[in-house]
Structure 1
Amino acid sequence: MISVNSFLIPVQKRFQNEYNLSKVLDLLNNPEKQIPTINVVGTNGKGSTSFYVSNGLKEKYKKVGLFISPAFLYHNERIQINNKPISDEDLNLYIKKIDEYISSFNLTFFEIWTLIAILYFYDNKVDIAVIEAGIGGIKDSTNLFSNQLVTLLTSVSYDHTEILGETIEEIIYQKINIAKPKTTLIISDDNYKYKEIIESKLNKEISVLYSNKLEEETIKYQKANKGLAKKALEFLGINNFKCLDLKPMVGRFTQINYRNRKIIIDGAHNLDGINSLINSIENKNEWTVLYGAIEGKEHRKILYSLDANFDSVNITNFDFHKSWEINNIDHINKIKDWKKFIEESENNLLICGSLYFIPQVYDYLTNK
């Protein structure tokens, strides 16, 4: 498996004025049209929902594709069949295969990954694929998967406002309209408060279903994700829900016993995700918080919420080019060395924040 710390994709550019993946797919006779697809969009919970749905689909389908982002520990995690990541050999092979298109069509980082997923799933003749959007919906390269069976909308909140829009109405419009005409959109219980907005912004040819929370779930913020996954499986004629008993993906409320202390690590990195995480923690006075973020997030609001719920909240920087500079953040508890902090802390730790920070923590704890 190829570590996310290894340079693999020759392009790091995320955004540009014009996207060209559709032109490449046209040249390749549109293999994406041969892949029956479940699109998953939203702000929080996309990865967890995609994970549970993909596992549940194996009850009915022989080959189930899964495309997720970002990768946690290994690049290979992004592209899976039957929840088994693509091999190093295949991943390198497909990168070489598309090299001419990367340069001649000026593909972005996420377009490259989407193209690899399409070709890998097509060549392996998957029966169905669960495709998690990167950012938004309409503007996302996963919108090119046109053989759509159903779209799932997880919890929506403010994120990537510089791309999706400053208002919740704009953000919802961008996400839900990845749904193709005459298909069905299944909406998480978390979004019922936006019912009027959703139905006013949606293509009129779309059928809408709402899911319920899975109340027996112990992790509070997973209740809606699992409820959405269950509704999607029912929609596709699957009534065995043993997949919902699986442990969450690593980095989603992952609990580790470390030197006689409890540590929870979670990739909550926006205000809605942080508040959902806070609501999932019992006996908050027993936990010390360590939070690490990248530039451009809602730092002030997030820290205000954490400080209002925990006695000890600490912020830290980490080894990543977009890591925030904590010297510029107005907060009293600043940790320069998060590894030393973990070793010297005597309390249970809740470590949360960027999905570029949390994998580093997980790797450190598990290797130790």
Structure 2
Amino acid sequence: MISVDNFLIPIQQRFQNEYNLDKVLKKLNNIEKNIPVINVVGTNGKGSTSFFLSNGLKTKYKKVGLFISPAFLYHNERIQINNEPISDDDLKKYVLKAEKFIKECKLTFFETWTLIAIMYFNDNKVDIAVIEAGIGGLKDSTNLFSNQLLTLLTSVSYDHTEILGETIEEIIYQKINIAKPRTTLIVSEDNYKYKKIIESKLNKDITVLYSNKLEEETIIYQKANKGLAKKALEFLGINNFNCLDLKPMIGRFTQVNYHNRKIIIDGAHNLDGINSLISSIENKNEWTVLYGSIEGKEHKKILDSLDANFKSVNITNFDFHKSWEIDDIDHINKIKDWKQFIEESENNLLICGSLYFIPQVYDYLTSK
């Protein structure tokens, strides 16, 4: 497996004024049309929902593709068939295939990964694929998957507002209109409060269904994700729900026993995600919080919410080019060395924040 620390894709640009993956797909005779897909959009819960759903689909389909982001520990995680990550050799082979298009058409980082997934799924003739959006939906490169069976909308809140818009109406519009005409959109129960907005912003000729939370789930914020996956499986005529008993993906309420202490690590990184995480923690007085973020998040609101629920909330920076600078943050408890903090802390730890920070913590804990 190829660590995310290794430079793999020969382009790091995330955004640009014009996106060109559609031009590449035309050169390839639009092979994306060969791949029946379920698109998964939303703000929080996309990865978990995609994980549970892809496992459930294996009870009906022989080959199930899965495209998720970001990668947690290994680049290979982004592209899977039957929940097995693409091999190192295949990944390197498809990166080489993509390189000429990167140069010719000036693809972005995420467009390149989408292209690799399309080529890999097409060559392996997957029966169906679960496709998690990167950011948004309508403007996301995953919108180019045209053979759409279904769209799922996970919990929606404010995130990436510089791209998706400053209002919840704008954000919802961008996400739900990845749904193609004459298809079905299934909406998480978390979004029932936005029912009028969803149905007013959705393009015509889309059927909208709403899922219910899976109440027997013990992790509170996974109730809606699992309920959404279950509704999608039922829609496809699948009544085997054993996939919902699986542990979530790493970095989603992952519990680690470390030196006789409990540590929970979770990639909650926006206000809605943080509040959902808080609701899932029992006996809050027993936990010390360590939070690491990237630039441009709702820092004050997030920290206010954490401070209101836990006695000790600490912030830290980490090794990533977009990591925030904690010296610029108005908060009293600042940790310069998070590894030392973990070693010296005597309390149970809730470590949360950026999905670029949480993998570093998990790797450190497991390697120790």
TM-score normalised by the chain length of structure 2: 1.00
Matched, 1:178 2:178: yes
Deviation at 1:114, TM superposition (A): 0.1
Deviation at 1:98, TM superposition (A): 1.6
Amino acid paired to 2:292:
G
**2:260 — aligned with what?**
260
Hey, what's the Cα distance between the residues in 2 that align with 1:99 and 1:266?
Answer: 34
Hey, what's the Cα distance between the residues in 1 that align with 2:100 and 2:10?
Answer: 12
**2:188 — aligned with what?**
188
Deviation at 1:113, TM superposition (A): 0.1
Which SS does the other structure have where 1:178 is aligned?
Answer: coil
Matched, 1:322 2:343: no
Deviation at 1:203, TM superposition (A): 1.2
1:276-295 paired onto structure 2 within 5 Å: 276-295=276-295
Hey, what's the Cα distance between the residues in 1 that align with 2:113 and 2:41?
Answer: 17
Hey, what's the Cα distance between the residues in 2 that align with 1:59 and 1:297?
Answer: 40
Amino acid paired to 1:160:
H
Amino acid paired to 1:139:
K
Hey, what's the Cα distance between the residues in 1 that align with 2:252 and 2:169?
Answer: 28
Which SS does the other structure have where 2:360 is aligned?
Answer: helix
Hey, what's the Cα distance between the residues in 2 that align with 1:121 and 1:188?
Answer: 27
1:202-245 Cα shifts (integer Å, max 9, x gaps): 01200000000000000000000000000000000100000000
1:325-364 paired onto structure 2 within 5 Å: 325-364=325-364
**1:112 — aligned with what?**
112
Hey, what's the Cα distance between the residues in 2 that align with 1:196 and 1:22?
Answer: 33
1:144-178 Cα shifts (integer Å, max 9, x gaps): 00000000000000000000000000000000000
Amino acid paired to 2:186:
I
Amino acid paired to 2:202:
L
| Structure 2 unaligned blocks of 5 or more | none
1:132-281 paired onto structure 2 within 5 Å: 132-281=132-281
**Which has the larger displacement, 93-102 or 249-258?**
93-102
The number of residue pairs the alignment matches comes to 368
1:312-365 Cα shifts (integer Å, max 9, x gaps): 000000001110000000000000000000000000000000000000000000
1:284-331 Cα shifts (integer Å, max 9, x gaps): 000000000000000000000000000000000000111000000000
1:61-115 Cα shifts (integer Å, max 9, x gaps): 0000000000000000000000000001000000111211101100000000000
Which SS does the other structure have where 1:184 is aligned?
Answer: strand
Amino acid paired to 2:142:
T
Which SS does the other structure have where 1:231 is aligned?
Answer: helix
| Structure 1 unaligned blocks of 5 or more | none
- Percent of aligned positions with the same letter in both sequences? 86
Hey, what's the Cα distance between the residues in 2 that align with 1:37 and 1:78?
Answer: 16
Amino acid paired to 2:290:
L
Root mean square deviation, CA, Å: 0.3
Which SS does the other structure have where 1:290 is aligned?
Answer: strand
Amino acid paired to 2:311:
D
Hey, what's the Cα distance between the residues in 1 that align with 2:356 and 2:326?
Answer: 16
Which SS does the other structure have where 1:15 is aligned?
Answer: coil
